Amino acid sequence: MEVIGSLLAGFEVALTPYNLFWCFIGVLLGTIVGVLPGLGPAATIAMLLPLTFQMSPTSAVIMLAGIYYGAKYGGSTTSILLNVPGESASVVTCLDGYQMARKGRAGAALGIAAISSFVAGTVGVIGLMLIAPPLARFALSFSSPEYFALMSLGLAMVVLLAGKSLIKALLAMLVGLWIAGMGTDLFTAGSRFTFGLSEMLDGIDFVIVAIGVFALGEVLGNMESREGGQMLPVPKGLRNLLPTWAELKACRFAFLQGSVVGFLIGVLPGAGSTIASFISYGIEKAVSKHPEKFGTGVPEGVAAPEGANNSETGGAMVPLLTLGIPGSGTTAILLAAFILWGLRPGPLMITDNPTLFWGLVASMYVGNVMLLILNLPLIPLFAQILRLPTYILFPIIFGISMVGVYSVSGSLFDVYMLALFGLLGYAMRKLDYPAAPLILGLVLGDPMERALRQSLMMSQGDVSILVSRPMSATMLFLAVVVLILPLFRKANSWRVKALEEGA
C-alpha cells in the first residue's frame, strides 16, 4: 500500500503540465536520436546535460530519462527499415525485423516493436517500483568498505562485458580512474595531475569527457565514410502499422519473456541492453516450435529483443538510484547529472528525495504511453529524419557539443579539452577500447577512492577491513571471480561469442 501511495504522489508530480512537457520533449528527442544511427542516448544526454542546469532537478531527470528509454523505441526503426541498428541494443532486431520488412511486413514489424517496447517498458517500471525501495533499505547498512567493494564489483562487471578484450576494458577503466583523480585531493586539498595549470585545479568536468568520448568520438568515426544505407519503403497509415491477430498471438510469450529477462539483466551492472536483447532472442529461439525460421522474419524475433532492451532501462535504474552504481555509459552520465544537481543517488535517495524518485517512476509510465502514441502513427514521420543529410547533422552535433561545454564554465580551455577527448574517443573506437569502462572509472573514481581511504582510516591502515566484513568480502570475492573467469579459455570464448553476436 505504501508503494501505491508513493506512486500516486509521483503521478501528481509527473502529471503537472511543466513535467509533462519535459517528459514529452525527452521521449521525442529519445525517439529521434534512436532513429539516427551514429548518435546514441549517452552522447545526447551528455550534450544536453549543461542545458538542464537551469531546470528543476525533477524536470531535468524526467527529460533525460525520457531520452534514455525513448531511444530504445526509436532504435528499432532503422533496424527494420535499413538493416542498420539505430542503437547497439537494436542489433538483434535487424535479424528478423529487416526480413519482415523485405517481405512487405515492415508496418507489422514496426508495430510489434512499438507494442513490445510499451509492454516491456511498463514491466520494467513496475520492477523498478517494487525492487528499488527494499534494496535501498538493505543498502542502508552499507559502510565505506561495502561501498568500495560494491563499486569494485560494478566496475568488474562492466569491464567483463564491455568489450572483447578484458585487458583493454581494464586499461580504459584505469584511464578513467586517472582522469577522475585529476584536480584537488579530496582529503588534503593538495593538487594532483594538474600539469601546473590553474584551470585543472577543479579537475576535468565530467561533461567534457562524456561529450568528447561519446559524441565527438562517434561522429568522427561516422565521418570516415560517406556511404548511406538503402531504406525500404515506409508504410503509411496506422492500419498498415498494426500487426495481425495471429502475429500478436505468436508474440505473447516473447512480450513477457523479453520484459522479464531484460529487467533482470538490466539490474546487473555492465550487462546492458545489447546483451539483454541478445539473450532474450536466444531464449525465444530455444523455446520456439520453429527455431529454424528465426532470422527469416518471424514476429517473435522482433518482439523478444525489443522487449528486453526496453525493460532493461527500468532494471538499470535500480542500482543507479538505490546504490549510486551505474551499469553503463548512459547511466553513468545520468549519475553525473544527479551529482551536478546536488543530489546523491544511493540508499537515502528514495527517503530524502521522494518527489524526485516517485516523480521519475510515474513519469516513466507516462513516457511509455507517450512513446506508444508517438511511435505507432508517427513512425513514417520519424523515418523521414533518416533523410536528413549527414553533412548537416554532423556539424550540428559539433556545434551543440561546443555550446554544451562552453555553457558550463564559459571557459575556452574546456572547449580545447573537449577536442582532446574527442580525439581520445575516436582513437578508442579505432583501437577497439570500450568507452563505457572509461566513463564508469571516471564517475566512480572519486567515490571509490573516498570509500577506500575512509575504510583504511577506520581500520588505521589495516587492509583486512575490506575482507573481514561479510558483505564486503562477498562482493570483492565476486569481483575477483568476474575478472578471473575469462582467463579460462572456455569461459572467455563464451563471453567473446556473446559480445560478438551482440555487437
Partner 1 sequence: MAEVSFNNGDAISAAALAGLGGYIVLEASRWDYMAPDGPGPGFFPVWYGIALVVLSLVVVGARVFRIAQEGRGPGSGGARAGAAAAKRREIYHALAVWLAFTISIALLKVLGFMLAFGLLTFFIVALIYRRPWKVAIAVAAGTSLGFYLVFPLALSVALPVGVFGI
Summarize as ranges the residues that interact with partner 1 (CB under 8 A). Answer: 51, 164-168, 170-171, 174-175, 177-178, 181, 185, 187-188, 190, 192-193, 216, 220-221, 223-226, 389-392, 394-396, 398-399, 402-403, 406-407, 410, 412, 415-416, 418-419, 422-423, 426-427, 430-433, 449, 452-454, 456-457, 460-461, 486-489, 491-493, 496
Report, in Å, the least distance between residue 102 CB and partner 1.
29
Q: Between 240 and 492, whose beta carbon lies closer to partner 1?
A: 492
Q: Between 105 and 469, whose beta carbon lies closer to partner 1?
A: 469
**Which is nearest to 89 in space by CA: 304, 264, 318?**
304
Report, in Å, the least distance between residue 223 CB and partner 1.
5
Q: Between 102 and 495, whose beta carbon lies closer to partner 1?
A: 495
Q: Between 32 and 318, whose beta carbon lies closer to partner 1?
A: 32
Contact status, residue 41 vs residue 68, Cβ threshold 8 Å? yes
Report, in Å, the least distance between residue 332 CB and partner 1.
18
Report residue 184: phi and psi, to 5°: -95, 135
Report, in Å, the least distance between residue 492 CB and partner 1.
4
Q: Between 153 and 166, whose beta carbon lies closer to partner 1?
A: 166
**Which is nearest to 267 in space by CA: 216, 227, 325?**
325
Report, in Å, the least distance between residue 397 CB and partner 1.
11
DSSP string, 374-413: HHHHHHHHHHHGGGS-HHHHHHHHHHHHHHHHHHHH--HH
- Number of neighbouring beta carbons within 10 Å of residue 397: 22
Report, in Å, the least distance between residue 443 CB and partner 1.
15
**Which is nearest to 215 in space by CA: 450, 23, 435, 391?**
435
Identify the DSSP state of 211. I
Q: Between 258 and 422, whose beta carbon lies closer to partner 1?
A: 422
Identify the DSSP state of 86. S
Cell of 352: 530524502
State which amino acid sits at residue 461: G
Report, in Å, the least distance between residue 46 CB and partner 1.
16
Report, in Å, the least distance between residue 328 CB and partner 1.
22
C-alpha span between 394 and 216 (Å, rounded) = 9
Contact status, residue 16 vs residue 301, Cβ threshold 8 Å? no
Q: Residues near 82 by Cβ (< 8 Å), separated by ≥ 6?
A: 37, 98, 229, 230, 231, 232, 386
Q: Between 128 and 220, whose beta carbon lies closer to partner 1?
A: 220
Report, in Å, the least distance between residue 79 CB and partner 1.
24
Q: Between 97 and 422, whose beta carbon lies closer to partner 1?
A: 422
Contact status, residue 439 vs residue 212, Cβ threshold 8 Å? no
Report, in Å, the least distance between residue 50 CB and partner 1.
8
State which amino acid sits at residue 101: A
State which amino acid sits at residue 466: L
Q: Between 120 and 151, whose beta carbon lies closer to partner 1?
A: 151
Spell out the long-range contacts of 405-410 with Cβ–Cβ below 8 A and sequence spacing 24 or more: 405/50, 405/205, 405/207, 405/208, 405/211, 407/50, 407/51, 408/50, 408/53, 408/205, 408/207, 408/208, 409/205
C-alpha span between 314 and 126 (Å, rounded) = 8
Contact status, residue 50 vs residue 208, Cβ threshold 8 Å? no
Q: Between 181 and 354, whose beta carbon lies closer to partner 1?
A: 181
